Amino acid sequence: MDEKIKNAIIRQAEAEPFACKSGLKLVEVQEGYARVAMDFTEDMENIFGMAHGGALFALIDEAFEIASNSHGTMAVALNMNVNYLASPARGAKLTAEAKEMNKTRKTALYDIRVTDEHAVLIASCQALVYRKDNPLPFLEK
């Protein structure tokens, strides 16, 4: 992976307001791949005391965003299909891993899986992006 692109993405991910507010931490980025972590805390619970789907979706979306933009050009989501499979325990260390499965000139498909620290599969997602020709706007910073 181009180091300029990698460093720019890391810098942007660390400063992204929503990611900071949600406790999302970029762990690894490679071309077509990203791993993002989040601690499941009490303030992320739904009305049943379980993980809110929105909190899990935010983790999935962050990994998807980083992996799909790792080529240095803008990619925007077209579709995401999420399957919620288990509810993590409060305090669980969650990781979303996004892997590029197919890339064309205009689209790319990703497989994203959320697991806890015991390798229990919490959620699975298949997501599609539209790949624009525009370079990432923050590369020049």
Helix ranges (DSSP H) in 32-101: 53-68
Predicted TM-score (pTM) of the model is 0.96
> Is 90 inside a domain boundary?
yes
> Is 124 inside a domain boundary?
yes
Tell me the CATH number at 86.
3.10.129.10
Averages of pLDDT over each 10 residues, the chain, 141 residues = 96 97 98 98 95 97 98 98 97 98 98 98 98 93 62
pLDDT number for residue 141: 62
> Is 41 inside a domain boundary?
yes
End-to-end CA distance of the chain: 18
How many domains are contained in the chain? 1
Domain limits at 44? 3-135
Please choose, from the candidates 96, 103, 25, the residue with its C-alpha nearest in 3D space to the C-alpha of residue 56.
Answer: 96
Q: Are 64 and 98 in contact (CB under 8 A)?
A: yes
> Is 140 inside a domain boundary?
no
pLDDT number for residue 9: 98
Q: Label residue 119 left, alpha or beta by phi (over 0 means left) and psi (-120 to 50 means alpha).
A: left
pLDDT number for residue 140: 77
Instruction: List all residues 6 or more positions away from 48 whose beta carbon is below 8 Å from its beta carbon.
Output: none
Q: Are 15 and 24 in contact (CB under 8 A)?
A: no
Radius of gyration of the chain (CA): 15
